[in-house]
A = this chain, B = another copy of it.
């Protein structure tokens, strides 16, 4: 198998959301990332060097194309060509109400920056959060930049897209949390081992429509209180700190 022009075109087209949606596919690049994702997703096309193949002899892909790095570079979106890139089928995760009721879930209200989304998925993975519900306006998890930024965590965290207000209404028996600039000191609030934690947009925070559906309003206090400081924490950072505080209570 060689890397034909058509194949190269089909791979690089996956940088566009429309193409990913129509094909139901996404692209991952880099030897480490590809080898982390291979056991988790169905691989349509694996393009890799022979040395990658030797290191990972048991990889399963519908089609495997061995190529030199210079050849791989033609299909790569990265600045320096990776030893492997792979086209995977997007998984179809159903939202499991039973799991949402018992576990900690993140809900993202219009996170727009791909880097932030990737970082949030990575920190969710660290703290054992297995489901993330994204509003329909949130960045696409299958954007190659997001896939990259998750550092493989996408293999372990299920990311769903849904109308967030409806999702919250359908799960209203589950405790809901969100961070607000006028929320209550998170360190002093009771935090349940299960619940839905809503994180808001980079510039505007949680929208009013979603805010109304949140029972428990939290705030990460700055220090010392009242001192002039940055206006807010970056949303990925805030997510990490909130998750850490939830897990501290049960560890």
Set of chain B residues within 8 Å of A122, measured between Cβ atoms: 230, 233-234, 237
Select one of B187, B233, B248 contacting A240, CB under 8 A: B233
Q: Is the CB of A21 closer than 8 A to any CB of chain B? A: no
Provide the bound-state CA to CA distance between A222 and B128, in Å: 7
Provide the bound-state CA to CA distance between A166 and B142, in Å: 46
Number of copies: 2
Find out whether the CB atom of A228 lies under 8 angstroms from the CB atom of B156. Answer: yes
Number of residues of chain A lying within 8 A (CB) of chain B = 36
Find out whether the CB atom of B185 lies under 8 angstroms from the CB atom of A251. Answer: yes
Q: Is the CB of A125 closer than 8 A to any CB of chain B? A: yes
Q: Is the CB of A209 closer than 8 A to any CB of chain B? A: no
Provide the bound-state CA to CA distance between A221 and B128, in Å: 11
Find out whether the CB atom of A251 lies under 8 angstroms from the CB atom of B156. Answer: no
- Assuming the contacts A185-B251, A237-B119, asked whether A224 and B128 have C-beta atoms less than 8 A apart, the reply is yes
Select one of B123, B153, B187, B224 contacting A237, CB under 8 A: B123
Most chain B beta-carbon contacts within 10 A, residue among A128, A227, A230, A241: A230
- Assuming the contacts A128-B224, A220-B244, A240-B241, asked whether A251 and B187 have C-beta atoms less than 8 A apart, the reply is yes
Set of chain B residues within 8 Å of A221, measured between Cβ atoms: 247, 251
Select one of B127, B156, B222, B251 contacting A127, CB under 8 A: B222
A82–chain B nearest beta-carbon distance, Å: 17
A100-133: CB near B (< 8 Å → 1, else 0) gives 0000000000000000000100110111100000
A143–chain B nearest beta-carbon distance, Å: 18
Find out whether the CB atom of A223 lies under 8 angstroms from the CB atom of B251. Answer: yes
Q: Is the CB of A70 closer than 8 A to any CB of chain B? A: no
Q: Which residue of B lies closest to A104 (CB)?
A: B223
Q: Is the CB of A152 closer than 8 A to any CB of chain B? A: yes
Q: CB within 8 Å of B: which of A227-251?
A: 227-231, 233-234, 236-237, 240-241, 244-245, 247-248, 250-251
Set of chain B residues within 8 Å of A220, measured between Cβ atoms: 126, 244
Chain A interface residues toward B at CB < 8 A = 119, 122-123, 125-128, 151-153, 156, 185, 187, 220-225, 227-231, 233-234, 236-237, 240-241, 244-245, 247-248, 250-251
**With A126-B220, A128-B229, A236-B237 already in contact, 7 other A-B pairs whose C-beta atoms are closer than 8 Å:** A122-B230, A125-B229, A126-B229, A151-B231, A221-B247, A223-B250, A241-B241
